[in-house]
Amino acid sequence: MACTSCSTGSNDGTPRGCKNNGTCGTDSCNKLTVFDWLSNMTLPGGQEPFDCVEVRFKNGRKEFFRNSEKLQLSISDVVATEAASGHDVGIVSLTGELVRVQMDKKKVDYKGEIPKIYRKATQKDIDIWQEARNREEAIQVRARELAIALNLEMKISDIEFQGDASKATFYYTANDRVDFRQLIKDYAAEFKIRIEMKQVGFRQEAARLGGIGSCGRELCCSSWLTDFRSVNTSAARYQQLSLNPQKLAGQCGKLKCCLNYELDTYLDALKGFPDMDTKILTEKGDAYCQKLDIFKGLMWFSYANNPAHWHMIKADQAKQIVALNKQGKKIAQLEDYVEEVTSTSVEKKFENVVGQDSLTRFDQPKKKNNKNKNKKRRKPTKDKNE
């Protein structure tokens, strides 16, 4: 569920947040928050503070603005910023010299033209902004109904109002190209605002909506991940994972982003292995690789005429055999290089350290109950004649 109270104003005009103590990622109110470790340091004499600030909007959207009016801004201040038409309202997320570092990281030229900050948001600005945010959920439901009425194969995933409530951006997902010219006319007539349609990918939609992954944690894309790198099935092959689409796909329907997290480590480990399609030449016949264990450095080969019987050898020995084959030499047989597996059975002993019953108490057969002991002794009855 999307957090409906993030970035909205309270009765006193200040943002009340989502009240999740910094753990909310569905509205990205704490997504990649930068700690200003330069806030307690003074600038050298004669140097003016950096005149650009970072402002956060809905769903973690961050943009840079120039503080041309030299306002005294600090983090979490609500400001009115320049927009294409009218003004927008956002929250200051970073100030000072760290903004210059962020702009260099995102390759934004701070010497060029950058939109300006008009003023600190007034109470009227915050009231209009809050009212517009409260309308988004109802408008989203109606927008989906209008799209279904036109038989358009698209999904309205989210709506974002501009701060002055004069414009709304409709985020949608679709598999193919959609002709929504009539839809924009219906939206403009229904909602009486300017409409902008913006298509997002399925990964971006999952990031905006949020959720819990198969690992039991919040989705990476909605909590900390900002760039979406391409993921293909070769990443699963390198990690010896089963090519099951249901297990490899995330909630967005695409391959999981976490398949790339350990890929570099696996690629470095595979440098010590021959290729999977490497063929070993022996006098007994050609042998092909069937399986490998990256962590233990083992490979399994089988002869072409007996693919069901596998022989386990070390990766270093396999590279030596391949080097001999390149010199035109053949080994006698794979059996000479087979790695023997020694299985040692370790007996586990459990000690009763807390005064509990023995762990093997259920392994012992139950004793037969003596029927004579279980029967209640009957009291002797007096003879009526006595």
Identify residue 291 by its one-letter amino acid code: K
Dig out the tokens for 266 from the structure.
Answer: 């696996």
The dihedral through the CA atoms of 358, 360, 364, 369 has a sign that is: positive
- pTM of the entire predicted model: 0.67
Taking the C-alpha atoms of residue 218 and residue 231, their distance in angstroms, rounded to an integer, is 20
Taking the C-alpha atoms of residue 300 and residue 100, their distance in angstroms, rounded to an integer, is 54
Using CB atoms within 10 Å of the CB of residue 153, give its burial: 0 to 12 exposed, 13 to 18 middle, 19+ buried.
exposed
Dig out the tokens for 252 from the structure.
Answer: 């967005």
Helix (H) or strand (E) holding 246: helix 245-248
Cβ atoms within 10 Å of 143's Cβ, excluding its own: 22
Let me know: does 27 contact 7? Beta carbons within 8 Å: yes
Measure CA 307 to chain center: 41
Long-range CB contacts (within 8 A, 24+) of 234-238:
235/259, 235/260, 235/263, 238/263, 238/266, 238/267, 238/270
Determine the pLDDT at residue 77: 92
Long-range CB contacts (within 8 A, 24+) of 185-189:
186/146, 186/150, 187/143, 187/146
CATH number for domain 132-204, candidates 2.40.30.10, 3.30.300.20, 3.30.1200.10, 3.40.50.720: 3.30.300.20
The domain limits of the chain are 52-121, 132-204, 231-271, 272-337
CA dihedral 178, 184, 187, 188 (to 10 degrees): 170
CA dihedral 361, 363, 364, 367 (to 10 degrees): 90
pLDDT of the chain, 386 residues: tens digit per residue: 334 344 444 444 444 445 444 444 444 555 667 777 777 778 787 788 889 999 999 877 889 999 998 899 988 899 999 998 889 999 999 998 899 988 998 899 988 899 999 999 999 999 999 999 999 999 999 999 999 999 999 999 999 999 999 999 999 999 889 998 999 999 999 999 999 999 998 888 888 888 899 889 989 888 888 778 889 899 998 898 888 888 899 988 899 999 999 999 999 988 888 888 888 999 888 999 988 888 888 999 999 888 888 989 998 889 889 999 989 888 888 888 887 655 444 555 555 555 555 656 666 666 655 555 555 555 555 554 54
Place of tokens 């006098």: 283
